[in-house]
Amino acid sequence: EVQLVESGGGLAQPGGSLRLSCAASGFTFSSYWMTWVRQAPGKGLEWVANINQVATAQYYVDSVKGRFTISRDNAKKSVHLQMNSLRVEDTAVYYCARVGYNGWESQDWGQGTLVTVSS
Amino acid sequence: QSVLTQPPSASGTPGQRVSISCSGSSSNVGSRTVNWYQQLPGTAPKLLIYSDNQRPLGVPDRFSGSKSGTSASLAISGLQSEDEADYYCAAWDDSLIGLVFGGGTKLTVL
């Protein structure tokens, strides 16, 4: 059974930093792209970042470029999102997901971790 | 303002067929496959349709997807109360070099 478990969310001040982690199990982690998607309170889904199997390619939504960094550790079967220079508008539930092979579909999702940016 | 356009709401009665549209452009829906997600209240999204019209294992055949040009649709037949959820379309965008989502459609079963 595929499992994705996010951690690291919490309260941060504007300008602060947080590091999210996602622990994967139940599949060959090193064979899949991974992605982070966020959802602000009461709002829709917004893609944040993707990373390929060997961490040689990363893509980001414009609003987080230069502030967020996606990374992965295939030995530990985990993907991370380092979030710096946080803004109030980064407040959201952050989901990690496994990307399928067909057309960037997010096949499996974690339960999400809440990030709140507030002074 | 989302890159992909969905109606904010849709509704139907049990047993009815409802359809949710997703309008994009040549850089996303027109040239890439569309995926659909279902998000039940208080839960993580779930993949419902991938590659325009394919259902993952376990998704009932009441759910179907289609695409024509720069528009895609999700159809739900034999509507059930448990289908009440938010539905999102998504596709890769070659101009933005990233994944784009629709704004979501809240489906109400009357």
For residue range A30-73, what is the model confidence (pLDDT) as tens digits? 999 999 999 999 999 999 999 999 999 999 999 999 999 999 99
d(CA B13, CA B15): 6
Q: How many helices (H) and strands (E) does chain A have?
A: 0, 11
Q: pLDDT grade, residue A97 (50/70/90)?
A: very high
Q: What is the DSSP letter of B8?
A: S
- For chain A, give the percent of residues with pLDDT over 70: 100
pLDDT in tens, B5-46: 999 999 999 999 999 999 999 999 999 999 999 999 999 999
> Which chain B residues in 19-58 lie under 8 Å from chain A, judged by CB atoms?
32-35, 37, 39, 44-47, 50-51, 54, 56
Q: How far apart are CA A51 and CA A32, in angstroms?
A: 9
Q: Which long-range contacts (CB under 8 A, 24 or more apart) does B81-84 make?
A: B81/B14, B81/B109, B83/B107, B83/B109, B84/B41, B84/B108, B84/B109
Best of A50, A58, A70, A104 to substitute, by most chain B Cβ atoms within 10 angstroms, is: A104
Burial classification of residue B68, based on how many CB atoms lie within 10 Å of its CB (0-12 exposed, 13-18 middle, 19 or more buried): exposed
Unique residue bearing structure tokens 């890439």: B32
Sign of CA dihedral A106, A110, A116, A117: negative
- How sure is the predictor about A76, in pLDDT bands with cuts at 50, 70 and 90? very high
Looking at the partner chain, which of A37, A59, A103 has a beta carbon nearest the beta carbon of B97?
Answer: A59
**What is the pLDDT confidence band of residue B1, given thresholds at 50, 70 and 90?**
confident
